[in-house]
Chain A
Amino acid sequence: MNLRLLYLARNLTRNRIRTALTCAAVALPIIIYVLSTAVVEGYEEFLEQAARELRLAVTQRTSIINPLPAGHRPKIESLDPTGARLVAVCGMRWIGGRIENDPRPLSTLAVDADTFPTSFPEYLRSPDEREAWVRDKQALIIGRGVAGQFGWKKGDRVTIVPSVPPYTPMEFHVVSTSEEASDPLTNWFRRDYLEEELRKSGAPEGLVSFFFIKCGSKADLDHFRVAIDALFARSPDETKTQDEKTFMNEYVTQQFNLPRNLRILAAVTVFVAVMAAANTMSMNFRDRISEYATLKSMGFSGGIVFTMIQSESLLTCAAGGIAGAAVPYVLFTHTPMKNFTVPLIQHLDIAPAVCGQAVLIALAIGLLAGAWPSWLAVRLHVVTALRSLE
């Protein structure tokens, strides 16, 4: 047994450059696999999070661009006067925005000040933030990512120029940097402030882009998804109600369908790794064909030769796989890179499960790569092999 292990170890170190190159050629595609899987999983986690919040999104029926009257709110609330099943209805108006002399677009929403904290409990976590929001009409909650990009912090005064009416610069006071929210890029402010500015400029008032509705339970969510649309059916402002997960998913898949494309990419990189590893194993086989013939002629069974080749392939690929999984894991959990944000996904979390999966895939690559040479070795006809040697 020890002799076999020694032989295996010798085989691995016989051509060190080759072993190292193979490890690297497997490790690099595995890095891409880990990264793209982490992004896809992060995105799915974001959707799951959205689903757990038990919120409905109500938009105008034909397009999210068409506004709804803010007066829909009391009508929706009247569906459940007790407020137990429909916990809060929050109207929102998208104003986009940018700061002066800076082309970077912002994503800013004006929200109903009274229901926002209940509908979005992940924001305004501390009592003093909540108090500042209630007291100050110009309060602004900024996304964590935005805080990083623009260097804004709590207490700053910032001026945002809306991309929609009133189009005039609006001044805000930053009251929170939403550390615990899952969306790092959206800013929120009070809709009563927007209405005031609209009134000054003479632009139409009382419109919202969509409503978010916090429900009491999953059953309520399903109930009101249908009930709200039924309430406004055949009215001048018909609605389309979706749960938050569907709403967000629709938005993301329309932009390059990133999750699907990343999955395809992950599959392609694994294919590349198989090719690279298979190449090495076939070269090894070619170089050692006389050895295998000798082993077999000495009475070692085909099974042993088979195991030998397979374990060599497995070990090489496993080493590559572990290296490939470890690099992004260490990079994104133990270095400054861990603050890297992807849109919608707050931190790029490289889950240990994904790393484990990557190592398993590396093992599968090893099996596949060793398959053809080891099969040839088992089938190797000793006499022919020895005769063909020079």
Chain B
Amino acid sequence: MALPLYYNWRNLFVRKLSTMLTFAVVAVIVLVLAVLLSFAAGIRASLASSGSRSNIMVLKPGATAESTSIILPDEISKLVQAPHVARGGDGRPLVSEELCVQTSIPRSTDGTLANVAVRGVAPVAFDVHREVRLIEGRRFDDGALEVIVGKAARDRYANLQIGGEVPLGKLSNRTYRVVGVFEAGGGALESEIWAGLTSIRDSFDRRFSSSAVLALDDAVRADETIAAINGPSIQLEARRESDYYIELSRKTREIVLLTSILIGIMSIGAVFAVANTMYASVDGRRREIAMLRTIGFSRGAILTAFLIESMLICVVACAAGIGGSLLLSGSRQDFLSDTTWTVLAYELRITGDIVVSALGLAVVVGAVGALAPALRASRIRVIEALRKA
């Protein structure tokens, strides 16, 4: 027969200060874990929802990112002939020729400069990137000094509201006006500024494009298209657009690794703190435990009771830590990808996975920390403990 949970709960309030301090240790560690992982989760979430599986991104072979790739006009005309390219309403192939450049824009929080990607696109881009949707204002006129900005970019960088002015161009001497805001399913494109291809080409003095994105009419046969583009007649490097962005999220593995090491060390510390508290709790209740044994509770019941008591503190602390991290959740950060050299604005996210790992950590810390003290409690010699009193 097990002891009622109520007994454990009441016991936590007998040594208030000690419980509170243990609680604080575990809560802080969970908070650190959740915040560190939320950086990685935010970046991953943003990159994972970027790009479509039925789109093909084409770069120059060897180029690692759009910003280092150069595609010539006759290569674009060859791409049009690749198999399975979808056609738009007017019968024209859905091949979007794009030019990626960048500009420095101050962050709206502290005014430090960030390298924001600027993408020059032709009207067909809106049929290729189907996830891009205007949520405010209107599209830019191709050729006019007008831009639309991603939602994340508008929130994170200064002066990108509708009507705002952005100096662009090789000499930063062309003033573009923001005429619209778009969203792109929470993906990386939302950190970008878009403008007309011809206008961006002219302002940045570029003759070539950086990349081309093809929409397919049949996503299942993407491999044939990729093989044709990589093959001898076109000789460019194609991959699914979604794969390009997933590759960029490789950097987040470093954060997860670093977090694991740090949290590992801190958790061992927490285990010791919990063990300490539980030892004190056991030693202070020898008589009580002996009494419980006399009225018929088994060794196992005592052992479980102490384990549960410790895990109870840890789980409640975990809830508090997660609660604290939720305050930061949704705040906008950005990071500079060392592949594209442009910033990705993302939101810190506390995902289900993070909550599960935090809970797992708390339960393990609670159980491991309480194991030795609980064993001691279950082995108390009843007669001796009662006599001493």
Contacts and interface: CB of A to CB of B under 8 A. Distances in A.
B269 A283 contact: no
Contact of B62 (A62, A162, A253): A162
A186 interface: no
Interface in A89-124: 96, 98, 105
A167 B64 CA distance: 10
A360 interface: no
B171 A238 contact: yes
Interface string B323-364: 000000000000110110101000000000000000000000
B170 A66 contact: yes
Q: Which of A32, A61, A163 has the most CB of B within 10 A?
A: A163
A162 B69 CA distance: 11
Contacts of B255: 256
Contacts of B262: 32, 265
B123 to A, nearest CB: 26
B191 interface: no
B269 A279 contact: no
B80 interface: no
B172 A164 contact: no
Interface stretch (B151-159, B175-183, B272-280, B296-304): B272-280
A25 B335 contact: no
A269 B28 CA distance: 9
B63 A276 contact: no
Interface in B1-43: 15, 17-18, 21-22, 24-25, 28-29, 32, 39
B66 to A, nearest CB: 11
Interface size of A as a range: 35 or more
Interface stretch (B82-90, B96-104, B134-142, B225-233): B96-104
A63 B275 CA distance: 55
B279 A18 contact: yes
Given A265-B32, A279-B21, A279-B276, A62 B170 contact: yes
B21 A282 contact: yes
B68 A164 contact: yes
A272 B28 contact: yes
B59 to A, nearest CB: 10
A105 B60 CA distance: 16
A213 to B, nearest CB: 22
Q: Which of B17, B102, B113, B276 has the most CB of A within 10 A?
A: B276
A236 interface: yes
B39 A256 contact: yes
Contacts of B124: none
A28 interface: yes
Contacts of A256: 39, 255, 335
Interface in A233-267: 236, 238, 250-251, 253-256, 265
B268 interface: yes
Is chain A's interface secondary structure helix, strand, loop, or mixed overall?
A: helix
Nearest to B206: A66
Interface string A269-289: 101110110111011001100
A21 B273 contact: yes
A165 interface: yes
A61 B171 contact: yes
A163 B28 contact: no
Given A164-B68, A271-B28, A279-B21, A255 B273 contact: no
Given A24-B269, A63-B103, A272-B29, A167 B61 contact: yes
A302 to B, nearest CB: 21
B24 A163 contact: no
B209 to A, nearest CB: 14
B335 A28 contact: no
Contacts of A62: 102-104, 169-172
Interface of A: 15, 17-18, 21-22, 24-25, 27-29, 31-32, 60-66, 96, 98, 105, 161-165, 167-168, 203, 236, 238, 250-251, 253-256, 265, 268-269, 271-273, 275-276, 278-280, 282-283, 286-287
22 contacts: A18-B276, A18-B279, A21-B272, A22-B272, A24-B268, A25-B25, A25-B272, A25-B276, A29-B269, A63-B102, A65-B67, A65-B341, A66-B101, A161-B62, A165-B70, A236-B205, A255-B335, A265-B32, A272-B266, A275-B21, A279-B276, A279-B277
Given A21-B279, A62-B103, A238-B171, 5 more contacts: A15-B279, A27-B269, A62-B170, A265-B32, A282-B17
Query: Top 9 closest A-B pairs, CB basis?
Result: A28-B269, A254-B336, A167-B62, A279-B21, A25-B272, A276-B273, A21-B276, A283-B280, A24-B272
